[in-house]
Amino acid sequence: MKKILTGICVIASILVSNTSVANEVEIVKVMIEPSAHRWTFHVTLKHDDKGWDHYADGWRIVDADGNELGMRKLWHPHENEQPFTRTLANVLVPDGKSIVYIEAHDKVHGWSKQRVKINMKQNKGNRYEIRRKTN
């Protein structure tokens, strides 16, 4: 009997664990444009929003040291608009900071473990593109 209960507990914890990961906000893609010595970030998120108590409520840009360079707050659920893209303009990425990360947040799980690493010196990478203006 003890083995059966232990087995049930293990299976239940695996199911709960997989469910919580599946409900974290996903960063689908990032598009970046230079703008007068600063940057504009367009971030596309996907999340199974469940109303006001559980929705993707923001994303941010951080440098490799974890310093926040910009934050885009999302003020309402996007239950019927998935995936969705929101923009943050006028972001200063200090000289010498070539690596930044996009992190996404939801009201239940906090900051998602899945984030996008961006090398500001490369025009394309995994889930991101930098559209530099050409003369």
CA dist 47 and 40 (Å) reads: 22
Share of the chain above pLDDT 90, in %: 43
62-74 tens-digit pLDDT? 999 999 999 998 7
Domain edges within the chain: 25-130
* CATH classification code of 25-130: 2.60.40.150
Name the pLDDT band for 12 (thresholds 50, 70, 90).
Answer: very low
Share of the chain above pLDDT 70, in %: 76
pLDDT exceeds 70 at position 10: no
**Average pLDDT for residues 25-44, to the nearest whole number?**
90
- β partners of residue 104: 59
Nearest alpha carbon to residue 127 among 109, 101, 106: 101
Does the predicted model carry a pTM greater than 0.75? yes
Output the pLDDT for position 33: 95
Output the pLDDT for position 8: 52
86-132 tens-digit pLDDT? 899 999 999 888 999 999 988 777 788 889 999 999 999 999 999 99
CA dist 64 and 99 (Å) reads: 6
